[in-house]
Amino acid sequence: MATLYLAIFVIGFALTMISFLTGVASHSFGHFGDVGHGGDVGHGADTGSAHGDHGQRVPFVNFGTITAFMMWFGGIGFLVATYSQLVALGTVVLALGGGLGGAAIIFVFMAKVLAPDQIPLNPADYYLPGTLGRVTVTIPRDGTGEIVYTQVGTRKTVAGRAADGAEIAKGTEVVVLRYERGIAYARPWDQVADERSGRPTA
């Protein structure tokens, strides 16, 4: 029995090392968290919708807890079987208790520390059309400037052009209408707002 416990421990330890080196452990329980569009730079309007579920739970049975169970179960079982006089049943009970305890520790760590930091890679979170931004480098007539915007909680910049080819001065708040080949085509926010409200644009 001692050999069996040792084999289980070695397999669990090997899987843990492999997952650590290849990065499997960081993705073994999916993505958690809630992320919405952060494209609003001053109008109080959210240009996207929220995704995800704040209450989503980490499953107890996952790659991390399984390998932790194997290591603790095999390690405790090997030590008890080798250095104590307990009968086989007592050894199994202690090994099971140790394995479940080790798996529980890993589960709590994943649920309380790792899961809250996970960001879902939802394509909608990186969809530029409709995003609000601000011109940081003047967009000349039929030319290219720079637009800064906030998305998924991160401040980003992108090459920008006016959708109608007009000049857009530095500091102007704009809304991205389309995104093509790395360039965001935008219009001043006040013009878009005026059109929506039915007021004539200047």
Residue range 84-141, pLDDT digits in tens: 888 888 888 988 998 898 888 888 887 787 666 555 556 655 667 888 889 999 999 9
Arithmetic mean of pLDDT, 32-61: 46
Higher pLDDT, 61 or 148: 148
Domain ranges of the chain: 2-35+54-117, 128-197
Q: What is the pTM of this model?
A: 0.43
What is residue 47's predicted lDDT score, i.e. its pLDDT?
A: 39
The fold of 128-197 is OB fold (Dihydrolipoamide Acetyltransferase, E2P) (2.40.50)
Q: How do beta strands 51-53 and 33-35 pair?
A: antiparallel
| DSSP, residue by residue, 26-44 | GGTT---EEE-----SSSS
Residues of the chain with pLDDT > 90, as a percent, come to: 17
What is residue 29's predicted lDDT score, i.e. its pLDDT?
A: 44
What is residue 31's predicted lDDT score, i.e. its pLDDT?
A: 41
